[in-house]
Copies of this chain bind each other. A is one copy, B any other.
């Protein structure tokens, strides 16, 4: 592959998914619901999960065209989680645009999420030739896990004694589950052997951890313009990120008091000067305690574990692309 060809290939697959999703819009009924669905399905996004599914299928020797329905299904389930999570997190924006419930009202937020899920199952069930039963079992397992992850996340918001092991358990459900579901499903559609499907699942699992900790890291190290939202938002919200929990683990008594203050939330109120002060103080503390470095190391470690899982897969363009995506996620800045 030439140096820019992985990117071209990625975009080619992404557009394949986009086209499949756009084709779903006209199907549903009432005008407002249709428009809200269109908003979600045309809002773009990296389509990471669906592209991973397509490439996992290719990696075990399958034809990506056989996997397009399952890929669309996974992307729809991901979007279902975004729409409902935005309601639960009270998030006004998504991908630089008003979230569904903000633009169309709460009722449409709930219903559009439900419809995305119904369409998701409907798509996965259109997969031909493959072991549909196994595919759907993986899909429902992922669905259950992601609900459990959201439940844990909501519980985290109220708890002030969250520790790193809790964090790992939470992101396993909330982030890794959908990624490992996607890669395993790709392996199943491609008729991969049991060991290959398991390797793909492992790949997705570790990649999910890398992805989530990288996300946490970007909140403090990213450029505001690239991030598309203010730096330090997680700090002000008191979000239990890898950084905050690792810092609590590493801090002495005095620093721990400052971190406990962040955890109790409420830092979000007050003037913007006060907010900037808090973000600066905590970021400096992270630097002092070596937390940003620890996060970087953890992302590298998880990425390495992910790519190591690929070792047992055939050496083909699909597997090469999975390697490339791991690197891309590591280098991403938003």
- Mark A residues whose CB is within 8 Å of B: 28-33, 84, 87-88, 106-108, 110-111, 113-115, 117-119, 121-122, 125, 132-133, 136-137, 140, 143-144, 147-148, 150-152, 154-155
Nearest-neighbour CB distance to chain B for A183, whole angstroms, equals 20
Contact status B110-A110, CB under 8 Å = yes
Contact status A118-B144, CB under 8 Å = yes
| A122-B140, A132-B133, A136-B136 known; A147-B30 Cβ under 8 A | no
Q: Which residues of B contact A30 (CB under 8 A)?
A: 151-152, 154-155
Nearest-neighbour CB distance to chain B for A120, whole angstroms, equals 9
In the bound complex, CA of A3 to CA of B121 (Å): 44
In the bound complex, CA of A110 to CA of B154 (Å): 12
Contacts A107-B154, A111-B154, A118-B143 known; list 5 others, CB within 8 Å: A84-B110, A87-B110, A113-B114, A115-B148, A125-B136
Q: Which residues of B contact A115 (CB under 8 A)?
A: 144, 147-148, 151
Q: Which residues of B contact A133 (CB under 8 A)?
A: 125, 132-133
List 21 interface pairs A-B (beta carbons < 8 Å), by A numbering: A29-B148, A29-B151, A30-B155, A31-B155, A33-B154, A88-B106, A88-B107, A88-B110, A106-B106, A108-B154, A110-B113, A111-B150, A111-B154, A113-B114, A118-B140, A121-B143, A122-B144, A125-B133, A125-B136, A125-B137, A125-B140
